[in-house]
Amino acid sequence: MLLTVQDYIDGLIEGKIFGSKCNKCNQIMIPIKPVCSKCGNFSVEKFKTKGKGFLKNFTIIYVAPEKFKDKVPYAVGLIQIDEGGLIMGRLVGVSPDKPENIKIGSKVKFELLIENEKVIVVFRVIDINKAE
Amino acid sequence: MSDVDLIGIGLTKFAKHDNKTSRDLLAEALQEAITTVDKGINIRKDIKALFVGYFTPSLYEHQSHYGPLITEWFGLTGIPAFRTESACASSSSALATGYFAVASGVYDIVMICGVEKMTSLDTSGVTDALSIAADDIFELGTGITFPGLFALMAQEYFGKYGGSWEDLQAVTLKNHYNGSLNPKAQFQAEISAIAEKIAIKKGVTFKDELDFLNSKYNPPVAYPLRLFDCSPISDGAAVAFLANSEISNRFTDRPLHIKGIGLSTDTLSIAGRDDLTTSKATLKAAYMAYKMAGITPKDIEIAEVHDCFTINEIILSESLGFFKKGTGLAMAQKGITKIIGDQPINTDGGLKSKGHPVGATGIAMVNELWEQLRGEAGERQVKDNPRIGLTCNVGGSNASSMVFIFERGTN
């Protein structure tokens, strides 16, 4: 059975971020992929991450698409997941009005947010001290 | 495989064109393109196939199946016609497809079109329409926008190589100066002129251009990028003709020869990349194009580089090999990329000032090379008779990259 986007979304709803692990070469891919990005093997299985990582970078959105218009300004970050790979997510636990106070390297943890019946990937800043 | 020449090209002014649909704009561009074919062209007799780049007609004009729509509008019903889509590189993908069609020997003369009619939607609607060039599942759900994706690249660049938003303004100032010399540009105004206009209107004063760019009249869009770091919302169209080099002398004695072509992709989602300060797709595309042309970046006398946001001109100018990694920003600040500099980039004002009707941009870039390499660029003319030029047109957040190298030819 090929892994699907729905497998990923089901994981998010359970509060987990899933990647894929290749059954042949053990390559870890985050987020989920149906085919190994290293060896091309189709036999990959779900790989559960702890949903933790650190803030690699961020931006503050001031001009948003229609459906997020009422949320500005908000922060979006690129998260380096501890098990490897990057995930983009909305950042909470920071003040979007003060970008200078948002610290690259802060430890973050995945949180599920349901907004207008859609699953939103959110990361909460849990410690502004740099992760090791 | 046959060699391919560009034998004529035209474009509309880039602007907000009220009361004109995309097909009206294309007809205008076609009319101009025909006048640029030195010995004339009879499109009904000569054109064997048509390729048109248009990113999102379905959202802007509730229209798809765009190929036959245009052949009908142009009186060419019957010839094969295709719409190509690669987001902001849609018309470069039309150019590439048309190149394959002629190089393969299947057709001898083809028409390449590019168009986008964006102002039918408001800013939020356009933001939404553009955003579907990013990954809907893994990126857009977070609320990221296109300016936001490039803002992340800018943050990475500053973090890795130093520099700041202030430094990036060298690109804004240069491209607006170049655009002020381009009658086809949406903003034919230097930043100083724009600042002066606003100062008078609002009864305020600015010390200098940077003071204006730092003011509330240049509002933040996606930190650290502000309004004047972004290319505008535009309407516009461009049309070009390609011919087999063996017969191009029927149309002109001064074609532009397609000397190299390179095409590549990167992950659609920027989270899939290990280095946001390099466009890997551009590295690969440029390598292929240089190899095919048998030249190196040093041989490029003029370049059109996809500055959808100021930071991208810097990133791409490095990925194309004009400057070492991390030095592009300093080079722009030194004026190396000005019209009078050693490595002129975006002499037409770039997307930033000329405008960015996304589906028309790739061919509009080629139009600037046509004028520059044939010595017809007027006030914008690069010195010393440039012979070889390059276009680099990317789609989305650099997930598609298409590089073309042109050389002034003689028949």
- Contacts with B2 (C-beta within 8 Å, 6 or more apart), sequence order: B102, B103, B104, B105, B244, B245, B246
The answer to whether residues B247 and B105 touch, using CB atoms and an 8 Å cutoff, is no
- Contacts with A30 (C-beta within 8 Å, 6 or more apart), sequence order: A17, A19, A20, A47, A49, A81, A83, A84, A85, A86, A87
- Contacts with B169 (C-beta within 8 Å, 6 or more apart), sequence order: B209, B210, B213, B228, B310
Would the pLDDT of A132 be above 80? no
Pairing type for strands A106-115 and A52-61 reads antiparallel
Q: Does B119 touch chain A (CB under 8 A)?
A: no
Residue A6: burial class (beta carbons within 10 Å; 0-12, 13-18, 19+): exposed
Pairing type for strands B49-53 and B81-84 reads parallel
Q: Which of B322, B292, B306 is nearest to B405 (CA)?
A: B292
Q: Say which DSSP state B18 is in.
A: T
Beta-carbon separation of A59 and B125 below 8 A: no
Domain residue extents for chain B: 4-122+233-250
pTM of the prediction? Answer: 0.97
Chain A residue nearest residue B153, CA to CA: A57
Q: How far is CA B244 from CA A26, B5, B97, B148, B410, in A?
A: 50, 6, 14, 42, 14
Query: Which residues on adjacent β-strands are paired with residue B80?
Result: none
How close is the nearest chain B Cα to the Cα of A31, in Å? 8
Q: Which of residues 34-53 of A touch B (CB under 8 A)?
A: none
Q: Which domains does chain A have, with CATH numbers?
A: 5-48 (no CATH), 52-130 (2.40.50)
Backbone angles phi, psi at A92, to 5 degrees: -125, 165
Looking at beta carbons, which residues of chain A come within 8 Å of B152?
A: 57-59, 76, 78
Looking at beta carbons, which residues of chain A come within 8 Å of B148?
A: 59, 61, 76
**B13 token code pair:** 């002014």
Beta-carbon separation of A68 and B221 below 8 A: no
Cβ-nearest to A78 among B123, B152, B222 = B152
Place of tokens 């002066």: B196
Would the pLDDT of A96 be above 80? yes
Backbone angles phi, psi at B280, to 5 degrees: -65, -35
Distance between CA B268 and CA B134 in Å, rounded? 6
How close is the nearest chain A Cα to the Cα of B302, in Å? 33
Q: Does A98 touch chain B (CB under 8 A)?
A: no
Place of tokens 């025909």: B34
- Amino acid identity of B89? A
Q: Does B272 touch chain A (CB under 8 A)?
A: yes
Backbone angles phi, psi at B102, to 5 degrees: -80, -45
- Amino acid identity of B101? A
Distance between CA B147 and CA B164 in Å, rounded? 17
Beta-carbon separation of B155 and A57 below 8 A: yes
- Contacts with B207 (C-beta within 8 Å, 6 or more apart), sequence order: none
**A2 token code pair:** 């090929």
Place of tokens 């780049």: B53
Distance between CA B243 and CA B392 in Å, rounded? 22
Q: Would you tell me how many other CB atoms lie within 10 Å of the CB of residue A15?
A: 10
Query: What mean pLDDT, rounded, does chain A reach?
Result: 93
Q: Which of B111, B67, B383, B52 is nearest to B237 (CA)?
A: B52
pLDDT for position A130: 60
Distance between CA B262 and CA B96 in Å, rounded? 9
pLDDT for position B154: 98
The answer to whether residues A16 and A48 touch, using CB atoms and an 8 Å cutoff, is yes
pLDDT (average), residues A21-29: 95
Cβ-nearest to A63 among B141, B221, B273 = B221
Q: Which of B235, B244, B238 is nearest to B33 (CA)?
A: B238
Distance between CA B391 and CA B411 in Å, rounded? 23
Provide the CATH topology of domain B4-122+233-250: Peroxisomal Thiolase; Chain A, domain 1 (3.40.47)
Beta-carbon separation of B124 and A76 below 8 A: no
Place of tokens 């933040």: B220
Q: Which of B235, B190, B193 is nearest to B349 (CA)?
A: B190
pLDDT by residue, tens only, chain B of 411 residues: 999 999 999 999 999 999 999 999 999 999 999 999 999 999 999 999 999 999 999 999 999 999 999 999 999 999 999 999 999 999 999 999 999 999 999 999 999 999 999 999 998 889 889 999 999 888 888 999 999 999 999 999 999 999 999 999 999 999 999 999 999 999 999 999 999 999 999 999 999 999 999 999 999 999 999 999 999 999 999 999 999 999 999 999 999 999 999 999 999 999 999 999 999 999 999 999 999 999 999 999 999 999 999 999 999 999 999 999 999 999 999 999 999 999 999 999 999 999 999 999 999 999 999 999 999 999 999 999 999 999 999 999 999 999 999 999 988
DSSP per-residue letters across B264-275: EE--SSGGG-S-
The answer to whether residues B152 and A78 touch, using CB atoms and an 8 Å cutoff, is yes
Q: Does A120 touch chain B (CB under 8 A)?
A: yes
Beta-carbon separation of A64 and B127 below 8 A: yes
Q: Would you tell me how many other CB atoms lie within 10 Å of the CB of residue B381?
A: 16
H runs (alpha helix) in B294-327: 310-319
- Contacts with B20 (C-beta within 8 Å, 6 or more apart), sequence order: B28, B117, B235
**B305 token code pair:** 């580089």
Distance between CA B327 and CA B381 in Å, rounded? 26
Locate the DSSP E strands across B310-399. 388-395
Looking at beta carbons, which residues of chain A come within 8 Å of B156?
A: 57
Of the pLDDT bands very low, low, confident and very high (cuts 50, 70, 90), residue A27 is very high
Q: Does A28 touch chain B (CB under 8 A)?
A: no
Q: What is the largest CA-CA distance in chain B?
A: 63
Residue B393: burial class (beta carbons within 10 Å; 0-12, 13-18, 19+): buried
